[in-house]
Each structure stands twice: as structure tokens, then as C-alpha cells.
Amino acid sequence: MKIKTKLCLALALPAVGLLVLGGARIASDWREVNELHTVQNFADYGVRVSCLIHETQKERGATAGFLGSQGKKFGERLAEQRRLTDAQLAEYRAFLGACDVQAQGAEFAAAIERGSELLTSLEAIREAVDGLNVLAPQAIGYYTKVNAALLEANGKASAATSVGEITARIVSYNAFLKSKERAGIERAVLANTFAQDRFGPGMYEKFTSLVALQAAYLDEFKALATPDDLAFFAETLAAPCVEQVHGFRELAVSRSSEGGFGADAGVWFDTITKKINLLKQVDDELARRLKSHTAKLSASAAAALAWASVLVVSLIAAAAWIGVTSVRSTLRGLRLVTDRVNDIAEGEGDLTRRIEVTPDELGDLAGGFNAFMDKLEGTIRSISHAAHELSAESESLVATAGGMERDADTSRSQTNTIAAAAEEMSSTIRQIASSTDQLSGGIDHVSGSVGDISSAIDEVAARSSESADVANSVNRSVSLSSQRVRELGEAAADIDGVVNLIEEVAEQTNLLALNATIEAARAGEAGKGFAVVATEVKELAHQSAKATTGIRQRVSAMQSGAAETAEAIQDIESSIAQMTQLIAEIDASIHSQSEGVQAIANVMGDSASASAAISTSVHESAEASDEVARGALSIDQTVVETAGAAKRTNDSGRSVAAMAGTLTELTGQFRFRD
């Protein structure tokens, strides 16, 4: 998996998390706004239905009084109340027509539908009441069912929101409405009872149940209402009519069995209506406060939704910008390192280029890369300089070996000349020996032979001088060869030092390549280029080590040849010294012979002894001449060996030069600072 993919995944996960959390927050705020909007709609419905229920409650009470008095009372009051109820019913239906009932929930719509169906029977109930064709419990029950259905729809508001504060207000408000509804039923029950001056069947039980339910619903209201709502309720209900209603209740309870209350149903109706009107004031205030508070919370939730949306979008945009910027920056830094490494591995091999160090982890990588490049550049520079020095030394070695080879050829030519002269001298001496033998055979021929001997001796003296000159020339050549051999040894020692330097550089390069390989492994994907460079550097170190091994072998062979050459030259110098000594002895013998011949010429009387001495000297000269010839042959063999060693040295020098050229070619693949 590429680093780009890893970075994108690493940034995508928190981005998705932020998106999910932000989306959840926005969805929660959006849901709360919608819930509060629904609650506002419920509050509007509550205000409207409360007004309708308030009028149906009064119509229910007037209807109960009308039926209880058998139509003798509450006639005008009932007719007026019906007009008020119809007015509120018209407004209620207009409200429903403008309201999307289905949008508020299926249960709410079903409750509205049930209430609307019950309201369609309102005119039929009224006609039955007017004709006294319906019993009071049935009529009261009808209105109670209508109000219950309307209150049921209003009660669905508590399920429309998850805001605890609003839910508590709605539940408290619905409990208050239920208590008020029971007060309205109580008004109808006692109006009918006081009109008949007795409790009808089941009416007392219904009355006591209504009083108990009112108290229970008020307790629920008080438990959930806010302190301000409770204060307003207490302040509003602090009126004489409340105590008067309590007095009517005590009267009804005290004479529940026998009847004969002596109470005016109209007075009761008016008194409790005053109380219910006070409850209606509390109802309206609670509805207003619920609507106002819901509107505030809705506005606050809408603002929170807007802020949350802006914040989430801003955070996502910022995260996306930071992520894209970070990924681009990281990839740009990695791409720069990769390009540098690829340039070294496949491009021009420019070791002078560096990467800008930034104050982050990529900067650390760049710093490590730059340090590696510094070491690599220094190593390649050292190898290049060592290769140039090795090339120069190898050229000097080749030149020295060539000079030695040429000097060996010259020495061989000169030793051949010495050998030829020695053989010629030996032949002449043998002739002299023959002459001296003849001299010993006949003294008569002494004079002529002495002349011949004198001439031969002169010629031998000349040959002896030439041999001395040639020996001196050979000695100088051998000295020059000895000097060249010493220079060769010094050059070999210098080459050995250069080889040691190259070996040290190769070892450092190998260690550097090993460290680079480790760093490349740590860097992972980004270190592949490092690994390629490290492999090439390691191969270069291996080639350098292999080359230095070959150079060392050839230098060792060259040093061995130089040592052998030095020993051979020492042998040559020793042989030449012996030959020079023999030539000196020959020269002395020749001079001695010349003096003998002169003595023969001057003193013929000593011819026999002189002839014997000459013969002895001549034989000695012949033996010395043979020794000189053998020494010349030995020198020739030594010179041949010296020439072979010089040739091997020359070949080794050329091999060293070729290896130096290879190193120069390898290091030439890189560009570095001198």
C-alpha cells in the first residue's frame, strides 16, 4: 500500500468520524427544531381547542340545568351559550382547515377525527335536549366525550418532543386541562342535581369522583408546573367564588341521601362558572407561556442548528484543507527524496545535490539523506583521487619496467660482445700457447716466433683493453639496472600504500552501503531508492576490493620479480667484478708476456726458461679467458632473467593501469565536488 493511500485512509477515518458526529449533531438539532415547531403547532391547537372546550363545558352545564329543571330554567342561558359555542366551533374548524393535521402525527390526526365525528352529532343532541328527549347523563356524557376527544388530541403534544422541559410543561398543562374539564362536568352534575333538588341515579358517585379527579389532576399539574406557573395559579384562584364552590360541595355531600338542598341551580352555575373562568385565565396563561417558551427554545435550537451546521462544515472544510495540505506536503517531500535517489541510481549520478531540511520528520529524513550523500561523495572522491594516483604510479611503473627491459637488452648485447671477445682472446692465447710450444721445440726459430709472439701479444693487449672497456660499460649498465630496480621497488611500495588506501576506502564504502541499506529498510517504501543506491555503492566497494586484491597480487609479483632482479643484478655485479679482476690479471699477464718477449729479444740466452714462463702464462691466460667467457655466459643468463622479470613487471603495471582506469570509469559515473 502506498504512503499516499495510507495517509488518505488515516485522514479519512477521523474525517468520516467528524462527519458522522457532526451529522448526528445537526440531525439532533434539526429534529429538535422540528419537534419544537410541532409543539408550537400543538400549542396553537391547544389555545384554539381550549377556547372551544371552555364553551362546550358551559353548554354542557347549561344543558344539565335545563334538563334537570325540565326546561323551566336555563333556556335563555342555554341559547346564548350555544351561540358562543358555535362561534368557537367555527374558528376551530377554520383552524383545522388551515392546519396540516397529518403532519402532526397519525395519533393526533385520529384523535382529531374522533372529535370531529362527535361534533357532527351536536345539532342532534341539541334538538333532543330542546325536546327533553334525552336524559341528563346521556347529554352530559356526549359533551364529555367530545371534550375528551379534543383533549386527547391536545395530549399528543407531549410525545412530539424529547425536550424534557417542554414535555414537563405539556404534561402539566394537559393535567390542568383535565382538572378543568372535571370542574366543568362537576358544574353540569350539580346544576342538574340542584335543579331537581336531589341526586339522580349514579350522580352522587359521579360527583365525588369528579372532585377526586380534579384534586388528582391538580396535584399532577402542581408537581410538574414551574414555580411561576404555580404562583400565577395560586394568585388567580385566590377569589371568593372558589370558597363558595367549596361550600356548595359541602352542601351536596351533607344532603346527598335525602336531597332538599335548597340551593338555586342558577346561582351554583354562575358561581362555579366564575371559578372555571378563573381556570380559563390560568389555562390561557399556561398556553401562552408554553407557546412563548417553545418559541424561544425553537429559536435557540434553530440558532444552534445554524451554528452547528456552520461549525461542522467549517471543521470538515478545515480538516479537508489540512489533510490535503499535509498529504501534499508529505508526498512532495518524499517525492523529492525519491527523485534525488533515482537521479543517483539512474540519472547523472550528481552527488552534489542536497535536499532542503524542514522542521519535521521529513526534515529528519532529508538530513539523514544529506549526511549519507556527504559520506558517499567523500568516499567516491577518495576513490577517484586514489584511482588517479594509482594510474600515475602504474604509468611510472610501466615506464621503469620498460627502461629495465631496454637496459637488460643492452646489457645482453654487451655481454655477448664480452663473450665473443673472450672467445677470440682465448683463441689467440691458444695460438700463443702453440707458438710458445713451438718456441720450446726449436730455439732456432725464436727470432721469427718472437716477432709473431710480440704481434700476437700486442693484439691480445688490445683485446684485453677492449674487454676492460666492455666490462666497465656492462658494469655501468648493471648499476643503472640496479638503480631502476630500486626505483621499481619504491614504486611498488607506493602502489602498495595506494592499494591500502583503496582497501580502506572500499571498507568504508561497504560499511556506508550497509548503513544505507539499514536506513532504507527503516524508511520502508520511501527508502527503496536508498536501497538501490546502497546496492550500487556496495557493488562499487566490492569491485574496488576485488581490484585492489588483483593489484596487490600483481604488486606482490612485481616486488618478487624486482627482488629476484636485484639478486640477479648483484650476481651480475659480482660476476663483472670477477671478470674485471680476471681481465686485469690477463692484462698484467700480457704485460708480463710483453716484457718476456723483450727479455727474449734482449737476452736470448734465457730463451728456454723464458719460453717456459711464457707457455705457462699463456696457458693461464687461456684459462682466464675461458673463465671470462663462462662469466659472460652467466651474465647473459642473468640478463635474460632480468629482462623476463622486467617484462612481467611491465605487464603487472599495465594491469594496474587497467584497474585504475576501471576505478576511474566507475567513479566517473558520479558528479562530486573536488
The CA-atom distances, in angstroms, between 97 and each of 90, 92, 112, 119, 422 are 11, 9, 12, 15, 154
3-state SS record for 34-90: HHHHHHHHHHHHHHHHHHHHHHHHHHHHHHHHHHHCCCCCCHHHHHHHHHHHHHHHH
Residue 478: all three cell numbers together: 648493471
Highest mean pLDDT among 367-381, 391-405, 414-428: 367-381
Residue, of 205 and 168, whose pLDDT is higher: 205
405 and 308 within one domain: no
Q: What is the pLDDT of residue 600?
A: 40
Domain final residue, candidates 319, 343, 374? 319
- Give yes or no for a contact between 621 and 431, defined as CB atoms under 8 angstroms apart: no
Under the banding of pLDDT at 50, 70 and 90, the label for residue 501 is confident
371 and 225 within one domain: no
pLDDT tops 70 at residue 629 = no
Task: Render pLDDT for 576-591 as a digit per residue (tens, 0 to 9).
Answer: 577 678 667 756 765 7
Residue 537 lies in a domain: yes
Number of domains composing the chain? 2
For 212, counting Cβ atoms within 10 Å of its Cβ (0-12 exposed, 13-18 middle, 19+ buried), the class is exposed
400 and 302 within one domain: no
Highest mean pLDDT among 64-68, 418-422, 491-495: 64-68
Under the banding of pLDDT at 50, 70 and 90, the label for residue 412 is low
Domain final residue, candidates 257, 288, 319? 319
For 296, counting Cβ atoms within 10 Å of its Cβ (0-12 exposed, 13-18 middle, 19+ buried), the class is exposed
Task: Render pLDDT for 38-81 as a digit per residue (tens, 0 to 9).
Answer: 555 556 767 787 888 889 989 988 998 999 889 888 999 999 99
Task: Render pLDDT for 362-387 as a digit per residue (tens, 0 to 9).
Answer: 778 778 878 887 887 788 788 887 77
Residue 1 lies in a domain: no
**Residue of 15, 11, 20, 674 lying closest to 351 (CA atoms):** 674
Under the banding of pLDDT at 50, 70 and 90, the label for residue 439 is very low
505 and 420 within one domain: yes
379 and 254 within one domain: no
Residue 148 lies in a domain: yes
Residue, of 629 and 175, whose pLDDT is higher: 175
365 and 315 within one domain: no
Mean pLDDT of the chain: 78
Task: Render pLDDT for 528-555 as a digit per residue (tens, 0 to 9).
Answer: 776 777 787 678 768 877 877 876 787 6
Residue 356 lies in a domain: no
Residue 98 lies in a domain: yes
Residue, of 92 and 671, whose pLDDT is higher: 92
422 and 277 within one domain: no
- Give yes or no for a contact between 562 and 649, defined as CB atoms under 8 angstroms apart: yes
Mean pLDDT of 595-623: 58
Model confidence, pTM: 0.44
Mean pLDDT of 609-633: 62
Domain that holds residue 514: 361-667
187 and 49 within one domain: yes
**Percentage of the residues of the chain whose pLDDT score is greater than 70:** 75
**Residue of 642, 641, 596 lying closest to 617 (CA atoms):** 596
Residue 13 lies in a domain: no
602 and 512 within one domain: yes
**Percentage of the residues of the chain whose pLDDT score is greater than 90:** 22
147 and 223 within one domain: yes
Under the banding of pLDDT at 50, 70 and 90, the label for residue 251 is very high
**Residue of 172, 171, 272 lying closest to 229 (CA atoms):** 172
**Residue of 287, 289, 284, 185 lying closest to 228 (CA atoms):** 289
Residue 572 lies in a domain: yes
pLDDT tops 70 at residue 607 = no
Under the banding of pLDDT at 50, 70 and 90, the label for residue 656 is confident
In this predicted structure, which of 163-167, 223-227, 238-242, 598-602 has the lowest mean pLDDT?
A: 598-602
Residue, of 262 and 526, whose pLDDT is higher: 262
633 and 502 within one domain: yes
207 and 94 within one domain: yes
Domain final residue, candidates 286, 319, 352? 319
Residue 612 lies in a domain: yes
